[in-house]
Structure 1
Amino acid sequence: MDSSRLTDMLTLSHALSSIVAASLPNRCALCQQPLDRGAGLCDVCLDDGALGSVCLHCHRSLERVPPYRCGACLKRKRWRPVISAFHYHGPIGPCVAHIKTRTQPQLVPPLARHLAGQIDALHRQGILPWPEALVPVPTHRARLRQLGFNPAWLVARALATELELPLLDQLVIKSRPTQLQHQLDGQARRDNLRDAFGVIEQGEGQQVALVDDIITTGSTLKSVTRTLGRAGVRVTQYWTLASALNRR
């Protein structure tokens, strides 16, 4: 078979695949059940992967709430709420990881809506202060070119829309590339992030929520928080889709 005919057959095959895919109902990325609208994940899978009742700082499991912090965190004079919707080592965890590992940004909206609902409920109960704006954890331009998007920015944009909050996506940058954090432990994570971020816009006096897709140890979020703090921006809380804190 000559190459031109093979190319034509492949083109036709791709076209037919697209037509078939368009004719099929949208399905949940996990259980494959049809969805009434949109793409992503069904409510059953979202609820099944929820983080549940955990300390709002360290994410240790709690038998009941309130209180919303464990005994150790209740003793802290200073603490920062860490709000995550899903258990990273649960059924939703792979979906959060696939946003960047398999380039599936379409999973962000349903996950972010779930997190936004949790944030709104905590705020209405008087447990969570309301930030003035959202700041996504930045990624280096080399990584941005490689991936094509910043997952933290997609999450922050979705949350800003859901909760009607300003998005300060030009406030802080990642000024140098770093190793992937999940490849490192302890001190190596902190060393990896030293002087990796910089503030390029004025935001002094603002109180913001810092947004990322996943929190594992919190090293990245703390590093960005220190950078913003030196510029007079106060990070009052962390918001992430998934958490691996104390959940292994």
Structure 2
Amino acid sequence: MYLFTACCVLCGEKVKANISLCEPCLQDLPRISCCCYRCGLPLKNQLNDTLCGQCQQSLPPIDYLISSLHYAYPVGHLVSQLKFQHHLVHAKIFAQLLLTTLQTHSLYHSIPLPDIIIPVPLHKKRLRQRGFNQALEIARPISETLDIPISTGLIRRAKYTQAQSLLNAVERRKNLRHSFALIKPISAGHIVLIDDVVTTGTTVYELANLLKKQGVKTVGVWAVARATHHYK
């Protein structure tokens, strides 16, 4: 069962739809209209089957990334409330937004559904501190709606790392190097990683590299939000 509030989480107005956002606030969200199909970087005046300049130079280890929103206000505000103030209703909002995006995205209809969903894992210390994994909370309604199993027992976060939000791109790569470990063999051929926000992509790239070394053929990412620029 997932939480629902009859008032908009942004403006406090009463809501009719089962999403805890009023229609004006829902329409005002910074949605991504087109993006690089490989890394999900938002693009201007392009098609969704376009590669960004960086992916044209060097393809990332993920095969595709689908996200709903630009990582801009009020998305960052809602993400922070979910992660640090335990506003779990936001996880359901994010799941519903992502489901809407998936069902209208060209990639979603051109490739098979994944065999399993893996929410990006937290280190056990951070999980104890927070009390929940926000990626898992977002993944649950998606798993139920699409009838795709969630796996939290294949990969663990083996190294406790500094928060990625405090680091630049180079520091993020160093911070996450060898930070994930396999728990048991993987037989799935197509896996989707679910996360709240993708900024540099370092986290999902590290996971994708690990999965592909184990023989996984296709690794996709479904994220609520994507940063607008590649971080330096």
Secondary structure, in 3 states, of the residue corresponding to 2:153?
coil
Match of 2:14 in 1: 34
Match of 1:176 in 2: 159
Q: For the residues of structure 2 that align with 1:74 and 1:143, how far apart are their CA atoms?
A: 32
Q: For the residues of structure 1 that align with 2:126 and 2:56, how far apart are their CA atoms?
A: 40
CA offset digits 1:42-89 (Å, max 9, x no partner): 343233212223333342323253x53246378579562211111111
Secondary structure, in 3 states, of the residue corresponding to 1:53?
coil
Aligned counterparts, 1:229-244, within 5 A: 229-244=212-227
Instruction: Please point out which of 55, 61, 78 is paired with 2:36.
Output: 55
Match of 2:195 in 1: 212
Give the fraction of aligned pairs with identical amino acids, expressed as a percent. 28
Q: For the residues of structure 1 that align with 2:152 and 2:88, how far apart are their CA atoms?
A: 18
CA offset digits 1:142-178 (Å, max 9, x no partner): 1011000001111122211122211112111101210
| TM-score normalised over the length of structure 2 | 0.84
1:123 touches 1:130 (CA, 8 Å); kept in 2?
no
Q: CA deviation at 1:198?
A: 0.8
Q: CA deviation at 1:37?
A: 5.5
Q: For the residues of structure 1 that align with 2:218 and 2:153, how far apart are their CA atoms?
A: 16
Q: For the residues of structure 1 that align with 2:106 and 2:187, how far apart are their CA atoms?
A: 24
Q: 1:44 to 1:92 in 2, by over 3 A?
A: farther
Higher mean Cα deviation, 195-204 or 210-219? 195-204
- Ranked by relative contact order (alpha carbons within 8 Å, sequence separation 6 or more), the top structure is 2
Residue segments in structure 2 that go unaligned for 5+ positions in a row:
none
2:192 touches 2:220 (CA, 8 Å); kept in 1?
yes
Q: For the residues of structure 2 that align with 1:205 and 1:35, how far apart are their CA atoms?
A: 40
Q: Count residues with an aligned counterpart.
A: 223
2:43 touches 2:52 (CA, 8 Å); kept in 1?
no
CA offset digits 1:126-153 (Å, max 9, x no partner): 4444211111110011101100000111
Q: For the residues of structure 2 that align with 1:223 and 1:163, how far apart are their CA atoms?
A: 26
Q: 1:125 to 1:203 in 2, by over 3 A?
A: closer
Q: 1:179 to 1:78 in 2, by over 3 A?
A: closer
Q: 1:139 to 1:74 in 2, by over 3 A?
A: closer
Higher mean Cα deviation, 67-76 or 156-165? 67-76
The CA RMSD measured in Å over matched residues stands at 2.5
Instruction: Please point out which of 202, 206, 221 is paired with 1:223.
Output: 206
Secondary structure, in 3 states, of the residue corresponding to 1:241?
strand
Q: CA deviation at 1:187?
A: 2.1
- Could you say which structure has the larger radius of gyration? 1
Q: For the residues of structure 2 that align with 1:120 and 1:64, how far apart are their CA atoms?
A: 20
Aligned counterparts, 1:1-248, within 5 A: 26-36=6-16, 38=18, 40-49=20-29, 50-56=31-37, 57-65=39-47, 67-70=48-51, 72=53, 75=56, 80-122=63-105, 126-246=109-229
What code does the residue aligned with 1:246 have? H
Higher mean Cα deviation, 143-152 or 128-137? 128-137
Higher mean Cα deviation, 143-152 or 97-106? 97-106
Q: For the residues of structure 2 that align with 1:43 and 1:229, how far apart are their CA atoms?
A: 41
| TM-score normalised over the length of structure 1 | 0.79
Q: CA deviation at 1:124?
A: 7.8
Q: For the residues of structure 2 that align with 1:95 and 1:128, how far apart are their CA atoms?
A: 31
Q: CA deviation at 1:38?
A: 4.8
User: Structure 1 or 2: larger helix share?
Assistant: 1
Q: For the residues of structure 2 that align with 1:247 and 1:33, how far apart are their CA atoms?
A: 36
